Amino acid sequence: MPLNYLFFFGLGIIGVLIVWSVWLSRKATREMPAAGEMFDTSLGTLHALVKGEEVPKGPPPMILIHGSMTNALDMDIDLSGRFQDTRRLFIPDRPGHGFSERPQDGWRLDVQAAMIHEAASKAGISRPIVLGQSFGGAVALRYALDYPDDVAGLVLVAPVTHPWPGGVTWYNRVGLNPYYGWLFRRTFIPLYARFGAKRAVERSLRGSALTSRYHQRTRVALTFRPKTFHANNEDITRLYEQLYAQSRRYDEITIPCEALAGTHDMTVVTTVHARAMRQAMQGFKLTVIDGGGHALHHQYPEAVATAVTRLDARVAAAARSPLQGAFRRLVSVFPGSAQG
């Protein structure tokens, strides 16, 4: 076959793939509509699931922040049912993911934290426990740094916390390339989403009870829309430089924190991230799960629930301590109040 025919044949294949990609993206958005509420913020519209009811004198509300390559439904599927009977839950799509808009510089951790904080405040969420998984852990830490008076405590699940060796995966670099990244997102990614994504999800969730229904239940197809995939590429590629600066400020966080990590997490290595937090942050307590991978909130959801229960107790104790100390000081001025 002459070279010019091959050239035009290749262009035709690329054109078909681009049209197919547009159709798949629109189909996913149409068939998998937003499941929660839309909140207008100064940075754009943020989509979030709002669940549960506030219980008088009950535990603090919670914000659950998802990781990369997913959306709010990832945090809802295994966790919300464990908490929504006792507290109010706010589960956002991070900016650029799911159905949340992507503001300018939406890859920045402070921008993501600001957008979530503003939307949560509009939903009536104040002084919450902020739970973040993977990339969501970095956002949760930034939330605590930027709004220290409006966070009761942190739960970090397989969190990204520090700069890591080795750089980012190849598809994030390619997807962000200013010259051919758009073509990669419009050709290779739709093919992968159609023929490889489901198997990859099943491998990452091995050992979880929800493996067979995760793909449909959390609407994985939304992740592979070109704009959403680009947002993920940008998040990951620009994360390293931010963590280099952010990790130097962790000693500013004084609220209680419970963290979980797995010995077999090959995505976010425990020794580089979670274990390093022991020296970086006071009030940090780490539980390492033997054999645990990266998706601990799906593989060991009961361990996450137990960590939240521990944190509830620590938050309650921290709230009581100043009052108890003041009462002891008041009582001590009276004769006969000395304790043996």
pLDDT score, position 329: 46
Tell me the average pLDDT of the chain.
88
**Which amino acid is it at 142?**
R
Q: Which domains does the chain have, with CATH numbers?
A: 7-330 (3.40.50.1820)
Confidence of residue 336 (pLDDT cuts 50, 70, 90): very low
The C-alpha R_g of the chain, in whole angstroms, comes to 22
Of the candidates 145, 137, 175, the one whose C-alpha atom is nearest the C-alpha of residue 268 is 137
User: HSE (CB half, 13 Å, CA atoms) of 213?
Assistant: 7
Lowest mean pLDDT among 63-72, 199-208, 213-222: 199-208
Segment (H or E) for 325: helix 301-331
The sign one gets for the Cα dihedral 74, 77, 82, 85 is: positive
**pLDDT one-digit tens code per residue, 110-165:** 999 999 999 999 999 999 999 999 999 999 999 999 999 999 999 999 999 999 99
As given in the structure block, the two tokens for residue 213 are: 């229904």
Category of 41 on φ-ψ map: left (φ > 0), alpha (ψ -120 to 50) or beta: beta
Lowest mean pLDDT among 110-119, 174-183, 325-334: 325-334
pLDDT score, position 339: 36
pLDDT score, position 18: 76
Give CA separation, 219 vs 31, 35, 68, 230, in Å.
10, 10, 14, 17
Look at the chain and count its residues: 340
Phi, psi of 321 (to 5 degrees): -55, -45
pLDDT score, position 195: 77
Whether pLDDT at 340 is above 50: no
Whether pLDDT at 38 is above 90: yes
pLDDT score, position 167: 83
**pLDDT one-digit tens code per residue, 264-280:** 999 999 999 999 998 89
Cross-strand pairs, 156: 132, 259
The mean per-residue pLDDT over the stretch 221-249 comes to: 94
**pLDDT one-digit tens code per residue, 220-234:** 888 999 999 999 999
pLDDT score, position 338: 37
Alpha helices in 218-300 (DSSP H): 226-237, 239-246, 277-280, 296-299
Comparing 149 with 195, the larger pLDDT belongs to 149
**pLDDT one-digit tens code per residue, 43-65:** 999 999 999 988 888 899 999 99
The mean per-residue pLDDT over the stretch 154-183 comes to: 92
Alpha helices in 123-258 (DSSP H): 135-146, 170-175, 181-195, 197-204, 211-217, 226-237, 239-246
Category of 180 on φ-ψ map: left (φ > 0), alpha (ψ -120 to 50) or beta: alpha
Helix (H, G, I), strand (E, B) or coil at 265: coil
pLDDT score, position 152: 97
Q: What does the alpha-carbon distance between residue 137 and residue 182 come to, in Å, rounded to a whole number?
A: 29
**pLDDT one-digit tens code per residue, 280-307:** 998 999 999 999 999 999 999 999 999 9
Whether pLDDT at 212 is above 80: no
Q: What does the alpha-carbon distance between residue 277 and residue 271 come to, in Å, rounded to a whole number?
A: 10
pLDDT score, position 323: 55
Of the candidates 184, 203, 90, the one whose C-alpha atom is nearest the C-alpha of residue 136 is 90
Cross-strand pairs, 285: 258
Angle (nearest 5°) at CA 236 between 233 and 237: 80
pLDDT score, position 259: 98
Confidence of residue 80 (pLDDT cuts 50, 70, 90): very high
